[in-house]
Every structure is written in structure tokens, then in C-alpha cells.
Structure 1
């Protein structure tokens, strides 16, 4: 018998709890070790919470490998200071986007294009003076049929008894993705159990061009951002000069707000330089507000993140959208 929409989030939740129990037990047994490598996985979906609807950002899967590198790897003269750290990260991801009405077969009822997105991102995260964080990144990939979004969504819906999407003929056609990004964060300590992390950044390239700024409030048993689950920076080398908080677990709740000023979004508007080859495109909203909250927990060997976000409409005439990200990372 096919699974109902409401059954899938419950099944995934049980699997996460089971994996978490194993990971926590393993993590408690390895608290004396130092770890310089990390693998992590994130699933992003709008079907984890009521009303269990499947539209807009409908699914995402990210797999990452991170490696602690020599602190003189890059920009050592510019960002000098105590407690300097650099982490090199590679992320392979696939994302699927659909209109609100996936059963619609006419343009009049398609409020955003279907789109598959497959990418590989390389980033260098630099931390200095325990409060500064700079990420520089390069993303290469493809948006369109070659990304496999149509095939994956149709198989997923067939396996779990979901309604089949009927409008993939309105998807964004193949276009290359070559983007750079920069993100800078700064931590403002409020007390030993609270801080505010500001962020500013931009993306530029063939697919995404935007500016962003925001802030996040953390409350709980927090670490500095150079060794926190908040910035995926728990990797460390052996040494007597390791700060004390690098050896303790971390947990906190958070609430964040992010403002994005959109210049171009190829997932909605097609190619940045030539959109005339697209069968169907829409106009992206120039401003996007994202409100996020959640819980993050880390032991020396394992960490978990649960992030719930609400996005303002991304397309003209669109609706707000809720998505959930569940992430797990293991260090070795």
C-alpha cells in the first residue's frame, strides 16, 4: 500500500532519532580525540511539517567533505591574529524547484518554472581572533534537464504514492552555473550563553546575483564561532594551545533574519545573459526576507542541526514558503 504524504515525515523523523542515538553514543566515547576531517549530509524539504505540501523549493540534498588546512593556506598576511583557522570544504548538491500546483498543465496555472539544479561548491572558511569568519566560494554546475530533477521527483512520488507532477515541460532549460560567493560573519558576545552573529555577503556569476545581510541570536551553551556547529568549524588540530571550549559539547536555540536583494535568479528567470532560449520564465521578486529558527547540538565527533525557515514570495504573485533543513555531521 502506498504511503500517504503525512507518513513520510514521521518515518524520516524516526530514522533521524535512531541514527542520532547511535551517533551520540559514539561521540561520548571519543571525547578525547582531535578531528581534522568531517563529512556531513543535509536534507531540505517542505514536506516535513503541516500542511505537508510539495511546491517551490520541494527537495534538496547536500553532501559535504571538510578538511582542516594549514592556517597559512590563503590570505595569511591579511587576516593575521591569534586563533587563526582555515577549513577547505567541498559540497555536492541537488535541488528541485516546482510551481505551487504540480498537477497544473497550462501556463496560466504555473506560478514559477520547474527547475533542477546540480552543483559542486568549493569554499574556504577562514576564522581569526575567534569572532571573525570569512567564506570565499566557487560553484560550478548546471540548471535544467541535465540536473535530473524531473526524473528524481517523479520516481520519489511514485515510490511514496504522491501525486505525479505534470508540468515538467515548463522547466528551465539547460544552462551552465559558474558563480562565486563571499560571506562575512562577526560574533557580538552578549554573555557566556548568548551572542549575535551578523552576516553580509554576495553571489555573482552566470546563475545567481544577489546581496544579503542579516543576523542570528544564539541562546544556550555556545562556543565561539571558530569552533561551533553554527559555522561547521569544530575541526581542530592537536596541541596544548587549544581553547578550553574546543573540548566541550555545544547546544543552543537560535532565531535569525536574513535580507536578500535579488539582481538575478536563474532558477526563476533563466540565463543571466540570455533568457530568450527559455520556454517559460517568471519575474523574481527583488527582495526576499527569510526568518529562521531551530536547534543545534554538537559533541566532539558528531553534530546535528534542525533549521525551520519561512521565505517571503520569491516570484511575482507567489506565496510565502516554509522549508526544513535537517543536517548531520561526523568528524574523524
Structure 2
């Protein structure tokens, strides 16, 4: 990701200026277990590192200057991430699930990105490379976790999507403080966003809005999430002392490609007819203390494919540690 602030590329914004900051580690865990289900998008984990303002390599500074959608001035940061997503049909007890249900699939990936932050605006550009299919190790991960937790064994992994390398290029822009007021000692802001993704795994355009209300609001754009979702970010600048905020957001996506529903690109595999328009509604709480941000998010997602009985509910825990 890339962060750009007012001033020349590579400089610090007034809000984010902290020469002692070396970077931010963020851990994200998404799962539908919190709401008693085990289906569709059932699990996602991601670990990421966002560099400090002085840890940006020359290639990243050059890329920030070259990319036309980034602001001309600001603080540039790089991000690196690894993660794994897991998708299953409605009934994981069946060895041969119905062909009109979501296919089994896994996604193992690594990402490198740039962010540019100005104090009011965040631009994020990220390139993700990975693999879909048995090589994603999603089957092994789920079996180990289910054995530890005593959950139902997933028996249909032999029907999962075939191995396929995946690539996704994503870009998001968020405008923090589009509305920013103080109400009875509480801070409030609204952050609209827009962007999209291009690749053989995901291709979509998205737009949405997030609202925050709390005390000692950190400079951030919402807690980090696993794409596709409302963007969020590992980036945050805490205020003095203990802070907290409640947040709620919504996003709509026009989806042209979702390999986990459309099936493999170049090989025969299971597939279903996807919905072209998908919406997310999320709400939760984030707390900050010194250089730590902890958050929980509840996500409601509309149906993603034809024949899906109902939308999805899942929860998200995230922890960001600023060093």
C-alpha cells in the first residue's frame, strides 16, 4: 500500500509525523463461526506489515510518483501481506455437494502494495499473487482446525476447484473527514470510498461509505479487512491516552469475475451463476491505547450466487500494533 501526505512524495504529513515509527503489524481473522454457520466464505486470515515513513524503498517512491491516481505529495509507505481464504458449500457433511451450491475452494496469497495518505485522503494500490485449489492448503487447514475444535468434518474437498495461479490488482481511494464534527465531546466523521479490482480471481468495481463516532478518534480509515470488502487499512495514528469509536459502513460491488463462484479460468470445474451486484453492511467497535488498535466487526453480506438460500453473517477480529 502507499500513503501520501501533503508535501513532496516521501515527506511526512503533519498528523502522521513520527520519526520513531518503524511500521505497523496487522493481524486479521474473519470467520462465520461467530454466528453458528460454516458455509460460503467461511474463513479468512491475513498478516500484514506496513512500513514506517522512513522505511519506504526507492522503488516504492518511484512507483508512487509514476501512478497517476496518487496525490502528488505525501507520505509513502509500503505494505507486505500473506493470507488464506476458505470457501465451502452449505452442507459440508456431503462428500458430493449439489452442483448448484458454492464449490469448495481455497486461496493462498501474498501481496505487496503502496499507500499514500494526506491526512484527509488514503490511496491504496496492491498487487496480489497466489494460488487457488489444493495447493492453497485450505483443505488441510480446515481439517486441522475442525479436529481441534471438535467441529463437523468437511467431507467434500475432493470436489474443490483445480489448481490455478491467481493475480489481482486492487486500487482503493478513501476520503476521511468528508464530514467531520464534534458532537457533545464526541468526534464524528464520514469516509466515502471507491475503487476496484482486476484479475482472474476477482474483477469488480466498488463504492461505499463508513461512519465513525467516538472519543479520541485515531487518524485512520477503518480497521483492516480481507478483500473484497470495505477497504480499511493497517494505517492508524493514535491520539494520546485511551480512545474508542463505533463504526458502521456499507459497500456495493459490481462483480465481473469471482473465481470462487465462476470456477477455474482455463479448466473444467464446479461453478454456480454469480450475482452481479453484491452488498456488504458492517458495524463494530475499535479501541486504541498507545500504539495498539483492536477491533471487532460484524459483516452482513447479500447473496453472492443464484440459489443461495440467504446472505452471510461473519465476524472479524483485527489487531494492529504500531512499532
State the TM bucket, normalised to the shorter chain: 0.7 to 0.9
Distance in 2, matches of 1:226 and 1:107, equals 40
2:42 to 42, 52, 58: 58
Once the two structures are TM-superposed, the CA of residue 150 in structure 1 deviates from its matched residue by: 0.9
Once the two structures are TM-superposed, the CA of residue 33 in structure 1 deviates from its matched residue by: 9.3
Once the two structures are TM-superposed, the CA of residue 248 in structure 1 deviates from its matched residue by: 5.0
Distance in 1, matches of 2:223 and 2:81, equals 19
Once the two structures are TM-superposed, the CA of residue 249 in structure 1 deviates from its matched residue by: 4.4
Instruction: Give the match for residue 331 of structure 1.
Output: 322
1:208 to 188, 202, 227: 202
Instruction: Give the match for residue 75 of structure 2.
Output: 85
Q: Return closer, same or farther for 1:87/1:166 CA change in 2, 3 Å cut-off.
A: same
Matches within 5 A, 1:99-178: 99-108=89-98, 111-128=101-118, 130-178=119-167
Q: Return closer, same or farther for 1:217/1:162 CA change in 2, 3 Å cut-off.
A: same
Answer whether contact 2:191 2:221 (CA < 8 A) is retained: no
Report the TM-score, using the length of structure 2 for normalisation: 0.81
Answer whether contact 2:50 2:235 (CA < 8 A) is retained: no
Distance in 1, matches of 2:223 and 2:153, equals 41
Q: Return closer, same or farther for 1:125/1:246 CA change in 2, 3 Å cut-off.
A: farther
Distance in 2, matches of 1:249 and 1:138, equals 35
The unaligned stretches of length 5 or more in structure 1 are: 1-31, 236-244
In proportion to residue count, which structure has more helix?
A: 1
Instruction: Give the match for residue 175 of structure 2.
Output: 186
Q: Return closer, same or farther for 1:154/1:225 CA change in 2, 3 Å cut-off.
A: closer
Once the two structures are TM-superposed, the CA of residue 226 in structure 1 deviates from its matched residue by: 7.6
Answer whether contact 1:104 1:110 (CA < 8 A) is retained: no
Answer whether contact 1:186 1:198 (CA < 8 A) is retained: yes
Report the TM-score, using the length of structure 1 for normalisation: 0.79
The unaligned stretches of length 5 or more in structure 2 are: 1-17, 225-231
Distance in 1, matches of 2:223 and 2:104, equals 36
Instruction: Give the match for residue 261 of structure 2.
Output: 268
Distance in 2, matches of 1:146 and 1:198, equals 37
The worse-fitting range, judged by mean Cα deviation, of 71-80 and 32-41 is 71-80
Instruction: Give the match for residue 321 of structure 1.
Output: 312
Tell me the C-alpha RMSD between the 2 structures: 2.4
Distance in 2, matches of 1:46 and 1:228, equals 18
